[in-house]
């Protein structure tokens, strides 16, 4: 680990939510939030606070604590309350150097607005989808932002700031049962609960399967129509080339690679 990776005086708050397993729908630690905690733990094990606004009894919060946290702060709220006002009020007082969140929550609205609303409320810059905080110097952080397909963009942003952590960030350490069951969940009644009234009017149901849009070829010519009708649908079995010269077969592979646009 580089020496500048750990920063004694750095104060980081990682915001965590109650996740939801996509298969079972069961509550768990959210994957991105856990990565935020991991990032904070490697960067500033001393100046780390893990914060949740919601129900302090939620068992899945302990899964974060199991990563080795001594305590976890919970701003006590009902399930229908809006988390942002509570969080921003608390963070305004605390003024951490870095606020880390996930990109999108796994349960509830999962709109991904939290970091932006916090940034707006606190007047802080927001960096999206970071994969790594490379270093911090002169009051500025050098970050790597995750772009699709393993690409990265280097950014530099002054402290303090809000950042959402991408799945490309280092995987979170395992949550261990012992520390999880022993950590302090410091519940704090902040005396404010802004009811989320807009949400109350919504209805939520299990996701319906969306049919994939059929590739309707609006044939402009009879030839197009013919082509569309006879084209092999991509679903059934693959094409097999055999007993041909290697050069010819390699060409077929190469053409497919070109068509898929993976060659640069």
Partner 1 sequence: MILDWLLPILISAALLLAVAGMLKRISLWRAGQPEKVNFFSGLMAMPRRYLVDLHHVVERDKYMSKTHVATAGGFVLSMVLILAVHLFGIENRWLSYALLGALVLMFVGSFFVWKRRRNPPSRLSKGPWMRLPKSLLMFAVSFFIATLPAAGILPEAFGGWVLAVLLAAGIVWGLGELVFGMAWGGPMKHAFAGALHLAFHRRPERFGGGRSTGLKPVDLNAAKLGVEKPTDFKWNQLLGFDACVQCGKCEAMCPAFAAGQPLNPKKLIQDMVVGLAGGSDAKFAGSPYPGRDVGFAVGGPNKSITEGLVSPDTLWSCTTCRACVEECPMMIEHVDAIVDMRRFLTLEKGNTPNKGAEVLENLIATDNPSGFNPGSRMNWAADQNLRVMKDVKEVDVLFWVSDGAFDMRSQRILRAFVKVLKAAKVDFAVLGDEERDSGDVARRLGDDATFQSLAKRNIAALSQYKFNRIVTTDPHAFHCLKNEYPDLYPAGQKPAYEVLHHTTFINELVKAELLNLSEFKGGTVTYHDPCYLGRYNGEYDSPRELLKELGIELAEMERSGFRSRCCGGGGGAPITDIPGERRIADMRMEEVRAVGAELVAVGCQQCTAMLEGVVEPRAEVKDIAELVAEALVEEVSPAPAKSREQSKVAKKPLAEEVS
Partner 2 sequence: MSEDIIRRDPRAEWIARNRLHPLHQTMQASPAETRGPSGLIRRNPHAVGFIGPNGIKRIDRMNASGPATVGGRRAAGAAKEVELPLHRVENPDYYIAVVPDMVGGRLNGHDKDVIGQAHKLIGEIGGNGAVLTIVFGEHREEAFDKAGVDRLLHLQGDEYEGYSPELRVAALAQVEKEYAPRYWLLPDSVAAGFELGCRLAARIGERPATQAWQVGAEQTICRGAGGTSDITRQTPRLLLLAEECADQIDETRHEVLPVELVGTVAGHASIRDCGQVAVDPNAIPLAEAEFILSAGNGVSDWAQFHQAAEALGATEGASRVAVDDGNMPRFRQVGATGTWVTARVYVAVGISGAIQHMQGIGQCDKVIAINTDVGCDMVKRAALSVIGDSSEVLAELIRLAKAHRQEVVENAA
* Residues binding partner 1 (CB under 8 A): 21-24, 26, 28, 66-68, 173-179, 181, 206-210
Q: Are 33 and 16 in contact (CB under 8 A)?
A: yes
Interactions with partner 2, residue window 48-87 (CB under 8 A): none
Q: How far is CA 75 from CA 17, 95, 123, 163, 191, in A?
A: 12, 16, 21, 20, 9
Which of partner 1, partner 2, none interacts with 138 (beta carbon under 5 to 8 A by kind)?
Answer: none
26 binds partner 2 (CB under 8 A): no
Nearest-approach distance from CB 51 to partner 1, in angstroms: 21
Q: Are 127 and 98 in contact (CB under 8 A)?
A: no
Which of partner 2, partner 1, none interacts with 68 (beta carbon under 5 to 8 A by kind)?
Answer: partner 1
Interactions with partner 2, residue window 99-158 (CB under 8 A): 104-113, 115-117, 119-120, 125-129, 142, 144-145, 147-158
25 binds partner 2 (CB under 8 A): yes
Nearest-approach distance from CB 189 to partner 2, in angstroms: 26
Q: Which stretch binds partner 2 (CB under 8 A): 3-11, 17-25, 42-50, 55-63?
A: 17-25
DSSP E strands: which ranges in 103-198?
126-137, 140-146, 152-158, 161-165, 184-188
Which of partner 1, partner 2, none interacts with 175 (beta carbon under 5 to 8 A by kind)?
Answer: partner 1
Which of partner 1, partner 2, none interacts with 67 (beta carbon under 5 to 8 A by kind)?
Answer: partner 1
Tokens 């702060």 belong to residue: 73
Residue 203 CA, chain-centre distance (Å), reads 24
Which of partner 1, partner 2, none interacts with 217 (beta carbon under 5 to 8 A by kind)?
Answer: none
Q: How far is CA 117 from CA 19, 81, 227, in A?
A: 20, 15, 51
Which of partner 1, partner 2, none interacts with 66 (beta carbon under 5 to 8 A by kind)?
Answer: partner 1
Beta strand 126-137 with 140-146 is antiparallel
Comparison of 68 and 112: residue with beta carbon closer to partner 2: 112
206 binds partner 2 (CB under 8 A): yes
CA–CA gap between residue 40 and residue 235 (Å, rounded): 45
Sole binder of partner 2 in the list 176, 192, 195, 241 (CB under 8 A): 241
Q: Are 214 and 231 in contact (CB under 8 A)?
A: no
Q: Would you state the torsion angle of the CA atoms of residues 85, 86, 90, 96, taken in this order, to the nearest 10 degrees? A: -70
Q: Which stretch binds partner 2 (CB under 8 A): 52-60, 70-78, 184-192, 237-245?
A: 237-245
Close Cβ partners of 244 (under 8 Å, ≥ 6 residues apart):
none
Q: What is the dihedral sign for C-alpha 78, 35, 71, 181?
A: positive
Q: Which two tokens stand for residue 51?
A: 């914060």
Nearest-approach distance from CB 45 to partner 2, in angstroms: 24
238 binds partner 2 (CB under 8 A): yes
């Amino acid at each position: 680990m580089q020496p500048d990776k750990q920063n004694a005086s750095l104060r980081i708050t990682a915001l965590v939510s109650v996740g939801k397993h996509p298969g079972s729908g069961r509550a768990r630690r959210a994957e991105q939030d856990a990565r935020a905690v991991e990032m904070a733990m490697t960067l500033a094990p001393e100046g780390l606070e893990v914060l949740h606004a919601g129900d302090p009894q939620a068992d899945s919060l302990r899964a974060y604590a199991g990563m080795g946290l001594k305590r976890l702060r919970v701003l006590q709220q009902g399930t229908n309350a809006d988390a942002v006002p509570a969080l921003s009020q608390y963070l305004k007082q605390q003024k951490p150097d870095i606020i880390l969140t996930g990109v999108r929550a796994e349960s509830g609205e999962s709109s991904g607005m939290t970091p932006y609303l916090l940034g707006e409320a606190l007047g802080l810059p927001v960096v999206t989808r970071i994969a790594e905080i490379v270093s911090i110097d002169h009051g500025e952080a050098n970050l790597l932002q995750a772009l699709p397909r393993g690409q990265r963009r280097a950014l530099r942003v002054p402290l303090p700031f809000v950042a959402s952590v991408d799945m490309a960030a280092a995987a979170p350490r395992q949550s261990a049962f012992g520390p999880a069951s022993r950590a302090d969940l410091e519940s704090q009644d902040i005396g404010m609960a802004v009811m989320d009234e807009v949400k109350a009017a919504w209805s939520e149901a299990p996701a319906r399967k969306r049919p994939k849009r059929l590739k309707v070829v609006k044939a402009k010519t009879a030839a197009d129509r013919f082509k569309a009708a006879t084209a092999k649908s991509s679903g059934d079995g693959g094409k097999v080339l055999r007993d041909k010269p290697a050069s010819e077969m390699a060409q077929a592979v190469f053409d497919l690679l070109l068509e898929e646009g993976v060659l640069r």
